[in-house]
Amino acid sequence: MMNLLEIKDLHTYFEGNGTIVKAVDGADLSIREREVVGLVGESGSGKTTIANSLLRILPETGRIVSGGIIFKGINIRELSEKEMQFKIRGNEISMIFQDPMVSLNPLFTVGEQITSVLKLHQDIGQKEAKTKAIDLFRKVRISDPEKRFDNYPHELSGGMIQRVTIAMAMSCEPSLIIADEPTTALDVTIANQILNEFEELIGEIGVSVLWITHDLGVIKRICDYVNVMYAGTLMEQGTVKTVFENPLHPYTFGLLRSNVIYYEPKGKIPTIMGELSEIPHQGCKFYPRCPIEDEGCLQESIELRKIDENHSIRCIKPEDAKRLSRSKNHGFQGVY
Amino acid sequence: MNNRNAGSVISRSINLLFGDENIARWETVKKIIRNPNSRIGLIMIGILVLVGIFAPFIASYDPYQQVLTESLEPPGLSHPFGTDLYGRDVMSRVIHGAWIAVKICVIGVGIAFIIGNLAGALSGYYEGWIDTIIMRIVDSIMAFPFLVLVIAIMAIFGPGLKNLYFAIAIVSWCQYARIVRSRYLSEKEEDYVRAAEAVGFSDKRIIFGHLMPNSIAPTIVYASLDCALVILLAASLSFVGVGAQPPIPEWGAQIAEGRQLLQVGWWIATFPALGIMYTVIGFSLIGDGLRDMLEK
Amino acid sequence: MDVDIVSDHKNKTKEISRNETVIEISHLKKYYMLRKGFIDKILVREQKYVKAVDDISLDIRRGETFGLVGESGCGKSTLGRCVLRLESITAGNIRVFGQNIRSLADRQLKKLRKEVQVVFQNPYSTLPPHKIIGNMLKEVINHHEIVKRDMIKEYCLDLLGQVGLSEVFYTKKPKALSGGQRQRAAIARALATEPKFIVLDEPVTALDTSIQAQILNLLMELQNKRDLTYLFIAHDLSVIRHVSDTVGVMYLGKLVELAPTKELFQKCLHPYTKSLASSSPLLSEVYRIDRIELTGEVPSSIDPPAGCRFHTRCPFSFSRCSKEEPKLIGPDKGHLVSCFLYS
């Protein structure tokens, strides 16, 4: 079965002032139909840039240098801007953003904003669009949808706005929804509510989701597959079960186990040393912070190796990583 | 590259002399020099200032000396810019005019800058009645068309260069105050100001030590562009007769004198006008360069 | 360095001074006046307030970490700022080291500023952008005359070392630092006055997970080394669980539950606390907390619901909840709850 989305060896760079920032430097991703795929990484990992590259909404200084983006068999990189605008964005692939306070236009009511999306892609009139919109509002559990239709974004709470953006994302029945940290800026209890509702929704309508986050807990909860990014490069990839129970890449391992939740209160939390390094160097991006050291780590490019049917990592010493994960357990059971 | 070596030598000497804290300031200076706009602008104005300071030595003739026998001579070997109606060497007058231009900028804009920054800082930081009073004064002053107000002030206090500086300062400070005030209003809510309060710094220290360095940059950009405007303003005033009085070789006054003689002596008005153009371009380039730097 | 001996010594010192109360908050209220529009002023409508902190009492003992947890808008940051005297107090009292801070003479206020410091949430706005780190620290140290002028640079470098920043950071401006590094610099600034009590207002929330752990480790290490007392404000229960000795849960300006950490998690009483805890799968698994889902939106703190403020979203509310306000009481002084399910 052909994958819904196939991203191969993506490189997206930003240029300014004579310097080049390699925001994405070797990312692979595949999403099948009805699949929820997680993209996890810390700041600087390039995860949002991948999403922007996919929809081709990069800022002026950014460009896709190389790599393939194939969606439903279509080469996204070769489409014209018009085709992207009318066929893809908001229609086949839609996106939910992180900060509810700035993701909607403050000058228009939420009703106007969602109907404009519907009218653009579905060629229907205002009345029909309004009915559909209110229906969608109901589906995302917005209370009093008729009233909310005429509210301005500043009149709504963060959680409510996220529901509106989810409704907008679903409005044209896309094949893929990209969710870029949609619950990060929300209160825990509201985020919880929305996550539950979202899970139900995507089960109902059968859409694929690319869920981008830094929160491993959310990944575990709603994703089937996970891709771990570091400094623009894909480090580990596999089913959530495999990766969480048996993280092989030292970064994934370090990330999973640096969650404070596993440890006795007041104890020292084992974590990844150092910071994301600005100094470019050859070979593995994680090398400066990795507990494993090998000369091979600094070779030109390191391949993504398939360890199992559903598990690949970009590391030349996966056996060492395995040994590391078993020895330095520190209470980490490998079960989230 | 030669630049880099010179730069690092200077960095190291500054380090030795003033401590490594001042390296950060040197970095800012380097950035200003690196920007092509500000570099050219600085060179242009630098030349202007030097010409102004050394005017008595550079100018071959006394700008006030009238030699009626040599009146209205076109540009030639002995008088590169020609002579005016009274036989005065136009080039010497233009050169001395440069010094006057520099004085107008430094004094006029300088005073406006200081008053404006201070007023805006107090207004933005304290709000309340201080803000109300200062802003209403600003509103009143800005309600008048710029030129009209300056002419009115000159009319009250009498014409002349000294009063000109004063008038320019009175009218110009308002814009600085507004810029600084809006910066202060937003910046003072930032965490680093809260932290400074939590350490126990006095209002004075927070206003001048923490907020001012952050708010001064847009006013410096504005000041450099203001210099250009002020030169034109002074020239316009002298042109209509309320600014510098003859025989002072202020460029505007010279253009006024030369205007009626354009047909018989085009050089009398043209060279001072070129002087103004040069100065305005120089300051505008500095302003543009600084603004580019700010936006990064 | 033999960590065990040091921590042992610290434990002994802790026992001796455990009874010393560093912070006593009694019936604290902080209301913000809502600005009246012109028409409202004319029509003389009733003055409305944002009741950010509405009658809170708690104690913090020396050497402990008090974890204050709640979601946005509950008033926890406001409470922190009141303790720091960055905000004026509307009603009630706060005693810091026995001294009432509502009205202080200048010299006493200066002493307060030395003894009580703060670390804020956002590393990108917490450092003065135009000062190099070294100068920022020097300014603080000179203001409180912590060391002599000729020793100052050495002291700064040592301070930077203690927060994990090497010497090169002395001459760097904040924009050259990453989020984690900036937060370390902010911690160095807080330590520069040699305080005894630090308010940490969501110090790791804005940081990456791996860096969060680094900073938490650093904060705990510093607490041990310097015998510090912390008020740790956060919305993440797992972080609070890790660093706190006592936990206070806030909702809409009120304390709904107050207990030693272990107690709170083992016997999670208030429905709101349960819903917070149950949103983290691991917490609810380990402590066997039933998953509670809340309905509805967070009410406004201008017109909070009558009776128990939580009743509009509580799955267990009954008629009494909307009429009366429950008091914060408990079977023993250890664990306090304000909920009619328990009284």
Domains and CATH numbers, chain A: 5-228 (3.40.50.300), 248-327 (no CATH)
Q: Is B201 on the interface with C (CB under 8 A)?
A: yes
pLDDT of amino acid C233: 97
| Interchain proximity C217–A261, CB inside 8 Å | no
* B190: nearest CA partner in chain C: C125
Best mutation target, C207, C279, C313, to test chain A (most A CBs within 10 A): C279
CB contacts under 8 A, C 114-133 vs A, are none
**∠ Cα B264 B266 B270 (to 5°):** 160
Q: What tokens does B147 get?
A: 């030129």
Identity of the residue in B23, B190, B194 whose CB atom sits nearest the CB atom of C171:
B23
| Interchain proximity A261–C179, CB inside 8 Å | no
Identity of the residue in A262, A268, A275 whose CB atom sits nearest the CB atom of C217:
A268
Best mutation target, C10, C72, C208, C224, to test chain A (most A CBs within 10 A): C208
Task: At A142, give phi and psi (nearest 5°).
Answer: -85, 125
Cα A281 off chain centre by: 26
Looking at beta carbons, which residues of chain C come within 8 Å of B194? 81, 86, 118, 120
* C218: nearest CA partner in chain A: A268
pLDDT of amino acid A100: 87
Are A91 and A74 in contact by the 8 Å Cβ rule? The answer is no
The model's confidence at residue B6, banded by pLDDT at 50, 70 and 90, is low
Coil, strand or helix at C308: coil
Does B26 share its domain with B151? no
**Which range of residues forms the domain containing residue C236?**
3-127+177-342
Looking at beta carbons, which residues of chain A come within 8 Å of C243? 265-266
Q: Does C144 fall in a domain?
A: no
DSSP C165: -
- Three-state SS string over chain B comes to CHHHHHHHHHHHHHHHHHCHHHHHHHHHHHHHHHCHHHHHHHHHHHHHHHHHHCHHHHCCCCCCCCCHHHCCCCCCCCCCCCECCCCCEHHHHHHHHHHHHHHHHHHHHHHHHHHHHHHHHHHHHHCHHHHHHHHHHHHHHHHCCHHHHHHHHHHHHCCCHHHHHHHHHHHHHHHHHHHHHHHHHHHCCCHHHHHHHHHCCCHHHHHHHHHHHHHHHHHHHHHHHHHHHHHHHHHHHHHHCCCCCCCCCCHHHHHHHHHCCCCCCHHHHHHHHHHHHHHHHHHHHHHHHHHHHHHC
| Interchain proximity C171–B198, CB inside 8 Å | no
pLDDT of amino acid B8: 65
Backbone Cα Rg of chain C? 21
Residue-wise pLDDT tens digits, C209-253: 889 999 999 999 999 999 999 999 999 999 999 999 999 999 999
* A189: nearest CA partner in chain C: C276
Q: Does C315 fall in a domain?
A: yes
Backbone Cα Rg of chain B? 23
Q: Does C103 fall in a domain?
A: yes
Identity of the residue in A220, A260, A262 whose CB atom sits nearest the CB atom of C239:
A260
Q: Does C162 fall in a domain?
A: no
Given a cut of 70, whether residue B13 has pLDDT beyond it is no
**Which range of residues forms the domain containing residue B74?**
36-295
Low-confidence ranges of chain A (pLDDT < 70): 1, 320-336
Does B9 share its domain with B95? no
What contacts C185, CB < 8 A, 6 or more positions away? C127, C133, C136, C160, C163, C165, C169, C174, C177
Identity of the residue in C117, C118, C134 whose CB atom sits nearest the CB atom of B21:
C134
What contacts A254, CB < 8 A, 6 or more positions away? A271, A272, A289, C210
pLDDT of amino acid C218: 96
Does B14 share its domain with B69? no
Looking at beta carbons, which residues of chain B come within 8 Å of C122? 191
Identity of the residue in A42, A157, A267 whose CB atom sits nearest the CB atom of C210:
A42
| Interchain proximity A265–C261, CB inside 8 Å | yes
pLDDT of amino acid C106: 83
Average pLDDT over residues B254-279: 89
Q: Is B26 on the interface with C (CB under 8 A)?
A: no
Looking at beta carbons, which residues of chain C come within 8 Å of A157? 297-298
Residue B83 to residue C146: CA distance in whole angstroms:
70
Does B125 share its domain with B172? yes
Q: Is C1 on the interface with A (CB under 8 A)?
A: no
Burial class (CB in 10 A: 0-12, 13-18, 19+), B68: exposed
Are B52 and B64 in contact by the 8 Å Cβ rule? The answer is no
Does B29 share its domain with B43? no
Does B14 share its domain with B118? no
Identity of the residue in C113, C117, C128 whose CB atom sits nearest the CB atom of B192:
C128
Does B131 share its domain with B26? no
Backbone Cα Rg of chain A? 21
Q: Does C199 fall in a domain?
A: yes
Q: Is C139 on the interface with B (CB under 8 A)?
A: yes
pLDDT of amino acid B3: 47
| Interchain proximity C281–A217, CB inside 8 Å | yes
Identity of the residue in A188, A217, A255 whose CB atom sits nearest the CB atom of C71:
A188
Looking at beta carbons, which residues of chain C come within 8 Å of B198? 84, 86, 113, 116-118
Does B30 share its domain with B81? no
B17 compared with B221, residue with greater pLDDT: B221
Q: What tokens does A335 get?
A: 């079960």
Here the CATH number for the domain that contains residue C183 is: 3.40.50.300
The model's confidence at residue B65, banded by pLDDT at 50, 70 and 90, is confident
Q: Does C83 fall in a domain?
A: yes
Looking at beta carbons, which residues of chain B come within 8 Å of C82? none
Give the count of domains, chain C.
1
pTM: 0.88
Here the CATH number for the domain that contains residue B180 is: 1.10.3720.10
Looking at beta carbons, which residues of chain C come within 8 Å of B23? 171
Q: Does C272 fall in a domain?
A: yes
Coil, strand or helix at C301: coil
| Interchain proximity C298–A157, CB inside 8 Å | yes
Does B26 share its domain with B169? no
Q: Is B294 on the interface with C (CB under 8 A)?
A: no
Low-confidence ranges of chain C (pLDDT < 50): 1-10, 12-16
Residue A112 to residue A129: CA distance in whole angstroms:
10
pLDDT of amino acid C101: 92
Does B85 share its domain with B125? yes
Identity of the residue in C84, C122, C125 whose CB atom sits nearest the CB atom of B198:
C84
pLDDT of amino acid B293: 80
What contacts A37, CB < 8 A, 6 or more positions away? A29, A30, A31, A208, A209, A210, A211, A223, A224, A225, A226, A227
Looking at beta carbons, which residues of chain B come within 8 Å of C144? 199-200
Question: In the complex, which subunits touch B with 3 or more CB pairs below 8 angstroms?
Answer: C
* B21: nearest CA partner in chain C: C171
| Interchain proximity C283–A261, CB inside 8 Å | yes
Coil, strand or helix at C86: coil
Identity of the residue in B21, B201, B214 whose CB atom sits nearest the CB atom of C143:
B201
CB contacts under 8 A, C 80-119 vs B, are 81, 84, 86, 109-110, 113-114, 116-118
Does B20 share its domain with B103? no
Residue C200 to residue C222: CA distance in whole angstroms:
13
Identity of the residue in B192, B199, B210 whose CB atom sits nearest the CB atom of C125:
B192
Looking at beta carbons, which residues of chain C come within 8 Å of A197? none
Does B10 share its domain with B103? no
Q: Is B213 on the interface with C (CB under 8 A)?
A: yes
Q: Is C70 on the interface with A (CB under 8 A)?
A: no
Residue with tokens 């066929």: A87
From residue A48, how far is each of A3, A53, A249 by CA, in Å?
21, 9, 22
Give the count of domains, chain B.
2
* B192: nearest CA partner in chain C: C126
Proportion of chain B above pLDDT 70, given as a percent: 91
Looking at beta carbons, which residues of chain B come within 8 Å of C121? 191
